Amino acid sequence: MNPFDYVTAINYTKKDLMVDDETEKAYQPFLVNRSLSYFSDTVHISNAMNTKHFLDKKLQFHFLLNITRKKKRFSKWEKPIELDEMELVKEYYGYSNEKARTALTVLSAEELQQIKRRIDKGGRR
């Protein structure tokens, strides 16, 4: 079963999906809690479940199912920054990880290509 089916059940359909051992094994609390943490009305509930990670999966699901208000919620997950681009910026400017992350938000794709050409030392890859 798709882990996001549980999120849909918690947020919108309010249907109990924990009907047997197989569906309980398919439940992944980390993914469910992470997807609920993107919304201001469910972030505290998600954090409460993170602190009670030792509870059975069925108990966690039923808690979230019954305490969360019915509402359509959708958000895209944040994607990690490309490490290659961050390494380019760190080498070119001599920045730390934090400064390189900040610089990547300002630099355009053309500027990154220009930095890549300037740093390129030639040879095989």
CA dist 31 and 61 (Å) reads 12
Residues 100 and 61 in one domain: no
For the chain, what is the mean pLDDT? 90
**CA atoms of 113 and 88, how far apart (whole Å):** 10
Please check whether residue 51 lies inside any domain of the structure.
yes
* 74 found inside a domain: no
Residues 11 and 62 in one domain: yes
- In the numeric block, the tokens 């890549």 are attached to 116
Q: In this structure, are 60 and 7 located in the same domain?
A: yes
Q: Burial level of 76, CB count in 10 A (0-12/13-18/19+)? A: exposed
For the segment 24-45, the average pLDDT, to the nearest whole number, is 94
Q: Identify the weakest region by mean pLDDT among 20-24, 68-72, 75-79.
A: 75-79
Residue 26 belongs to some domain of the structure: yes
Q: Is residue 89 part of a domain?
A: yes
If you write DSSP's letter for every residue of 54-88 in order, what string do you get?
Answer: TS-HHHHHHHHHHHSPP-----PPPPPPPHHHHHH
Do 20 and 52 reside in the same domain of the chain?
A: yes
Task: Give the domain range for residue 94.
Answer: 83-119
pLDDT in tens, 88-123: 999 999 999 899 989 998 999 899 999 999 988 877
Looking at the domain assignment, is residue 20 inside a domain? yes
pLDDT for 77 = 75
Total domains in the chain come to 2
Q: Are residues 63 and 22 in the same domain?
A: yes
User: Do the Cβ atoms of 57 and 35 come closer than 8 Å?
Assistant: no
Tell me: do 87 and 52 sit in the same domain.
no
Predicted TM-score of the model (pTM): 0.64
